[in-house]
Structure 1
Amino acid sequence: MAQELGHPDFETRGHRNHVSWDPAGVCVLISPWNAPLMLATWKVAPALAAGNTVVLKPSEWSPLTASLLADIAAEAGLPDGVLNVVQGIGEEAGAALVAHAGVRRISFTGSVPTAKVIARAAAANLTPLSLELGGKSPFLVFADADLDLAVANAVEQYDNAGQVCLSGTRLYVEESVRDEFVRRFLDRAGQLKQGDPRDEATDIGPSIHPDHVSRVDGFVQRAKQAGAKVLLGGGPNTDLGGLYYRPTLFTDVDPHSEIATEEVFGPVLVLHTFRDEDEVVAAANDSAFGLAAMLFTGDPERAGRVAARLVAGTVWANCFFVRDLRAPFGGARQSGIGREGGTWSFDFYCEVKNSVFAPVGWRS
C-alpha cells in the first residue's frame, strides 16, 4: 500500500502541484498489554513502511513479544537503529520518550488518563499524537435479528477475559425478545470453559495481573451494592487461582451508574432493554466513549440507517471484529484522536507535502 500511495498531479494557473508523503522522523509507539504483539505490529509496520525510525515501548506487563519482534526484525536484515525497543515502566521510560524534543510522532493505545498525561507532555513540543483509547461499546439486538447469531456474538464479548477495548459491554435488547435472548445467552455462556489458554478446549483464559483482577472485582462489588442484579458470574473463579474472573452479566442497572458507563476491561456485561430504534440509538450514543458499536437486525435498511446514526469509529452489523488493515481504525470522543490503518496511517506517520512547479522557463 505504501508503494501505491500517491495523488495525481494537478494544475493551478499553469503550475504543477505534486503531493508527496515524506517520512516524519522518529516515531514513539506505546503499545498495550492485552494483545501485545498484534497491536504493536499495527503501529510498527506502517511507521516503518513510511520510512521512519521507531522506538517501541511495550507495556511493562507484557514485555516479551516486543523484544522477540525486534530480534526477528534484526534477523530479517532490518538495519540497526531502525526498530528499537525500550523496556520500562510508563512513569519513567514512557514519560522520557514522549517528552523528548527529537520525537516527531507519538502513537499510544491505552487508557484515557494515561493519554491525557502523554498529551500534556507532547504539547510542550507540539508533537502530533495518535490515540486509541478505551471504550464502552453498545451491542444492539433488534427483535427481527437472528437471535442465535446475536447471542453467539454477545457471548464472544467475553473473549480474552474481557480485556478488549472494542468489546460490546453494553447489551441493548428489544423488549419483546429480551427473555428469549437471556435464556439462550445464559445457556451458551454457561458452556464456556475457563482455563489454561494453551489448551485448545479453553474459551476464556486468565486476566493479565492480580492487580487487574482486583480492579475488575471492585467494579462488580460496587455494582452489587448499588442494586444491580447478577444473572451470571459475579466474582473470581477461585477454583482456578487468583487470575481468573467468572464471566458476569448484570441486569436492572441504572444506565448512568458506574458499571454502565465506565470501562471495566474484564468479562463483565450489562443488559438493558429498549422499545424502538430512536430510544436505543439515543441510549447507545449517551456515552463519553465512541470506539465501536455492534448491531443485529434482519432488516438491511435498518442496519444501514442505525449504523449511520451511531457515534463510533467502527460499526459492525450482524458481525463482530471483522478487521481489514486497509480500513481506518480509531475512536470518537474519549475513545481517541486520529485514525490508523490503510492510507490513514501514512497521513499520520508522514509529512504530507505539496510541491508547486512553475512551467520550464517561467519568469515573474
Structure 2
Amino acid sequence: MNKHLTTVAGVAVDTRHWIGGERVASTDTFPDASPIDGSVLADIARGTATEADAAVAAAKAAFPGWAATSRVERARILHAIADGVEKRIEELAIVETTDNGALLRSHRRGVMPRVAHNFRFFADWLLKLEHGDFETRGHSNHVSWDPAGPCVLITPWNAPLMLATWKVAPALAAGNTVVLKPAEWSPLTASLLADIAAEAGLPAGVLNVVQGYGSEIGDALTSHPDVRRISFTGSVPTARRIAASAAANLTPLSLELGGKSPLLVFADADLDLAVDLAVEQYDNAGQVCLAATRFLVEESVAEEFTRRFVDRTMGLRQGDPRDEATDIGPNIHPGQLEKIDGFVRRALAAGARAVIGGHPEDGQYYAPTLLTDVAQDSEIVQEEVFGPVLTLQTFTDEEEAIRLANDTRFGLAATLATGDPERAERVTARLVAGTVWVNCFFVRDLQAPFGGSRLSGVGREGGTWSFDFYCDVKNTVTAPNGWTNHG
C-alpha cells in the first residue's frame, strides 16, 4: 500500500508534491483536517525552500518547450484538462467539500463545472487573442503577447480549485509554466488537478504543485529570482509580505485581496429582491471575498427590510455540507472560527446589537449573524471578518449612502438594489469598487475584468487582462519599404 495516498470519501489522493512530472515526498508533513468534524484527512508533504527550488527549476526547464508550443496545441491540451475535470466532477466535489466545508450541492452544480469552464474559456480566448495592426507615419505596428516565464500562483482555501484554475488556466494558455501552492487548509484538489493535467498530456514540469506553509515554502517561491510572475489571492497582510519578498527581483504581482463590500438598498427597490440579495451574503458560511457584508438601507424601509431578512435567515439550515438540504456549512478552521467570534464579541462590547446570531455553534459552525447599532469607524464595519457576520446601517439620502459605501480601506465590490435606473447610473459611477452589481449578485463572466481598488488588490484578470499580466506584451514596428531584396 502506498503510504503517501489518502482516501477521502472513496477517492484516492496523493499527499506528495508534483514536481517535474513526478511525485516528490518531503521529510516532514503537516496535518490536513476536515472542518466538518475536525477529523484529520491526511498528513501532507510539508515543502521548504528545497522543494521550492526544485519546482521552479522544473518550471524553468519546461518553459522553452511549452512557450514554443503552438497556440492550437496549447488550447487542445487545456480542453483535454477540462475534459478530465468533467469526468471527475463528483470526485472533485466530494473531496473539496470534505476538505474545506463548502456545500456539496454547490460544488457539483456550479463550482466544479466552473473549473472546467476556466480551462475552456482561456483556451478559446487564446485562439482569438489579437490586437489589430495599425500604422504610424507609414510604419506598421504589430502587438504580440510573449510568454513571460515561470509563474508562482498562491491560492486561498475558500474556493480552492476554482480560484486555482482561474490562475492556472490563463498562465498555461499564455505559454508559461506554473508552480501552484494551494492553501495549507485545503490542499487536496490541487493534487488531483496535477493528476488530471498529466493524464491530459500536459508536459512534465509545465504544472508543478507544492504544499506547505507560507513562511517556509511560500517565501522561497516569491523571492526566487527565476520567477517571472506572482499571482496571489488572500489577505492584505500576506500580500504585503509577498510584495516585499518579490521586490528585490521586481517580479510583477497580481493581488486579489480582501473586501468590505456594501449592499445599498434604496426605498424604491424591490424589497423581496433586496432581501434575496442580502441572504446570499451568507454563501459559503460568509467566506467569500466579494460578499456584501455591510448592509446600507434607506431609513424609511430599514425596519421592514430587517424583518423580512430575519424571517428568511431563520429559515436557513446550518449543518453538514454534504447534505443536500444544508444552506450553511462550517467555517474552515478553529482559528478562523475564533477570529470571527472575536470580531463579534468586541463589537457587542462596543455597543452593537445582535439582531440574530452573535455566537458560535457546535464544532466549527458560527450562527448567521446580523449586527446593528454599529459605528462607521468601528472595527466590525471597517475590517474583513470572513465569516457569516453582517452589519446593518441606515442612510437618509443618496449622498450619505455613497459616502458610507466608500468609507473603508477596501474597494473590491458593491451591490445596489434600486428601482430607478437613473439613480443606479449615478450611484455606480461614484462607487469605489472593481465590480458593481445592480439588482443582482455574483453574476460573473471571464470576459470581464476582475480585481479590486485600494487595499482590495492590484491589477485586473479576466479575458485579455489575464494575458496582459501573464505575458510580456510586445509591439513590433516595421519601416515601410525597408526590405532588402537578396533575390
Give the TM-score range, shorter chain. over 0.9
2:221 to 91, 97, 100: 97
Runs of at least 4 residues off by over 3 Å: 360-363
* CA deviations over 1:130-183 (Å, ceiling 9, x no partner): 000000001000001010111011011011010001000010000100110011
The aligned counterpart of 1:262 is 383
> How far 1:7 moved relative to its partner?
1.2
Q: Please tell me whether residue 282 in structure 1 is matched to residue 406 in structure 2.
A: no
Give the partner amino acid of 2:186: S
Match of 2:334 among 201, 210, 217: 210
| 1:128 and 2:252 are equivalent in the alignment | yes
Task: Tell me how far 1:14 sits from its aligned partner.
Answer: 2.4
- Per the alignment, residue 450 of structure 2 pairs with 329
Structure 2 residue aligned with 1:81, among 201, 205, 227? 205
Amino acid at match of 1:218: G
What's the offset of the Cα at 1:13? 2.4
TM-score of the superposed pair, with normalisation by structure 1: 0.98
Of residues 180, 187, 192, the one that matches 1:68 is: 192
Partner of 2:163: 39
Query: Who is 1:310 aligned against?
Result: 431
What is the alpha-carbon distance in structure 1 between the residues aligned to residue 133 and residue 263 of structure 2?
Answer: 44
Q: Could you tell me which amino acid in structure 2 is paired with residue 130 of structure 1? A: S
Displacement of 1:300 in angstroms is 1.1
Note the C-alpha offset of 1:362.
5.6
Structure 1 residue identity aligned to 2:229: R
Higher RCO, 1 vs 2 (CA within 8 Å, ≥6 residues apart): 1
Partner of 2:437: helix, strand, or coil? strand
Shift of 1:66: 0.7
Aligned to 1:345: 466
* Alpha-carbon displacement from aligned partner over 1:261-288 (angstroms, at most 9, x marks no partner): 0000000000000011011001100110
Q: Which residue of 1 aligns with 2:34?
A: none
* 1:294-338 alpha-carbon deviations (Å, 9 max, x no partner): 000011111121111100000000000000011100000000000
Aligned residues: 360
Do structure 1's residue 21 and structure 2's residue 145 form an aligned pair? yes
Hey, what's the Cα distance between the residues in 1 that align with 2:174 and 2:249? 22
Counterpart in the other structure of 2:310? 186
Paired residue for 1:171?
295
Please give the TM-score of this superposition, normalised by the length of structure 2.
0.73
In the alignment, is residue 146 of structure 1 matched against residue 267 of structure 2? no
Name the counterpart of 2:178: 54
Q: Shift of the alpha carbon at 1:9?
A: 1.3
Match status 1:249 vs 2:366: no
1:301 aligns with 2:422: yes
The C-alpha deviation readout for 1:104-131, integer Å capped at 9, x for no partner, is 0000000000000000011100000000
| Displacement after TM superposition at 1:231 (Å) | 0.2
Residue of structure 2 equivalent to 1:272: 393
Name the amino acid aligned to 1:50: A
Distance 1:11 1:163 in 2: 49
Distance 2:340 2:482 in 1: 70
What secondary structure is seen at the aligned counterpart in 2 of 1:126?
Answer: coil
The residue identity in structure 1 corresponding to 2:157 is W
Residue 354 of structure 1 aligns to a residue in which SS? strand
What is the alpha-carbon distance in structure 2 between the residues aligned to residue 303 and residue 72 of structure 1? Answer: 44
Gaps spanning 5+ residues in structure 2: where?
1-124
Residue 109 (structure 2) aligns with: none
Give 1:67 shift.
Answer: 0.7
Alpha-carbon shift at residue 198 of structure 1 (Å): 0.9
1:9 correspondence with 2:133: yes
One-letter identity of the residue aligned with 2:166: W
Q: Residue 103 of structure 1: SS of its match in structure 2? A: coil
